[in-house]
Amino acid sequence: MKKMSFAFAVLMLFFGLLFYSRISQAQLQAPELVRVPAGSFQMGNARFSNARPVHTVHISKDFHMGKYEITNQQYADALNYALSKGYLDKTVLSESSKKREAKGVSRSPQKYQDIFDEHSQITYENGRFRAHSGKEDYPVVEVSWYGAAFYCNMLSESEGLTPLYNLDDWSAQVYGATGYRLPTEAEWEYAASFSDRRPFPWGEGKGFEKKANAGHKVKNPVDVDTLPVGAFSPEGDNTLGITDLVGNVAEWCNDWYLDSYTGSENETDPIGPGQKLYFNLPVFKKFQAARVLRGGSFLLDTEYRKEMGRPFIMDTVMHPEIYDNSFRSYDFLSRQVIGFRVVKVTADASTLSRITEPEGSGK
């Protein structure tokens, strides 16, 4: 009887692990995507000092952009997938860790998502990541640029594609391979203003109260005033049917941030300037380059944390014009106002390979 009980327990454990493995992988499904046709547009805006000069950009090939911002459930599924593959540092997830977070394992390990931050809507319990009840379809927050890039890699891998981000040096194969990545800044602005260079995704006029989850203040600094993705669809959609390009959460782009545009007056498939501008972060005792943010978030408050200085103040919540399709912002940390959406690019024999420089190479 004891032998049978032991055998039964082992069998149940085997099937339990098999079920866990299948679930962790089966739930990693591709987000809904919208095709963005190739074309040209005028990028930038002379009204904004950091969006000059206005220049012509050619997007040479169609690409697909996520219809929605990535949700808490989607990100939790990806973390579980990664955990089952051994891609996460389990030591910083344990209760004994001094700084608990979802962090990767590589030659340059980075925090992916601030799982234990008061603003996070994902939790880690009993060896599993879970979205907070009722927050499954809300956009993920407290996700770093690295965590957004990592998510893209998990999508690529789960579809049998080669991941586009090198997690050892954080360079990215922007063009030349098929897979998921963050949108370049040019792709983001091109899609948002498609196809008539409109100032807002829905066209002329702000109309935020009926078009976007935007322009709010928060009574309590721990409040995350997001809404389920697509809550303002179709009224706030762009021409192509992409939702929440304004508000809800600001969105990471692939590019490094520079406070002006560089390059020629005519560019084809630009991938950004590289690391040329560094911000002094006294709290961390270092200088750090920033990544581009677009679209703004639910929060717009010029006084929010103003007295605290960097890195606590957030550029993306300070500017009344943040919701204009051409307005540029930046950050270097994970925040309660930042999330992302993905793009999928397809390479063919004519696609030239373009890879961003490794992190730190601009110093």
Contact 167, 106 (CB under 8 A): yes
In a domain, 7, yes or no: no
In a domain, 245, yes or no: yes
pLDDT reported for residue 48 = 97
Query: Whole domain around residue 105: which residue ranges?
Result: 33-355
- Count of structural domains within the chain: 1
pLDDT reported for residue 5 = 52
CA torsion through residues 75, 79, 81, 85, sign: positive
pLDDT reported for residue 263 = 79
Determine the Cα–Cα distance for residues 166 and 153; give it in Å rounded to an integer: 9
Strand partners, 128: 125
Task: Give the CA count within 13 Å in the CB-facing half-sphere of 179.
Answer: 24
Angle at 340 between CA 338 and CA 342, to 5 degrees: 170
Integer CA distances (angstroms), 325 to 30, 47, 198, 212, 238, in order: 26, 12, 8, 13, 11
Which residues of the chain fall short of a pLDDT of 70?
1-27, 362-363
Residue 261, amino acid: Y
Pairing of strands 338-339, 102-103: unpaired
Determine the Cα–Cα distance for residues 22 and 360; give it in Å rounded to an integer: 38
pTM of the model: 0.92
Integer CA distances (angstroms), 55 to 42, 261, 270, in order: 6, 9, 11
Contact 39, 59 (CB under 8 A): yes
pLDDT reported for residue 296 = 98
SS3 letters across 81-120: HHHHHCCECHHHCCCCCCCCCEEECCCCCCEEECCCCCCC
In a domain, 21, yes or no: no
In a domain, 53, yes or no: yes
Q: What is the CATH number of the domain that holds 79?
A: 3.90.1580.10
**Total Cβ atoms within 10 A of residue 278:** 14
In a domain, 73, yes or no: yes
In a domain, 11, yes or no: no
In a domain, 28, yes or no: no
Strand partners, 40: 58
Contact 257, 288 (CB under 8 A): no
In a domain, 15, yes or no: no
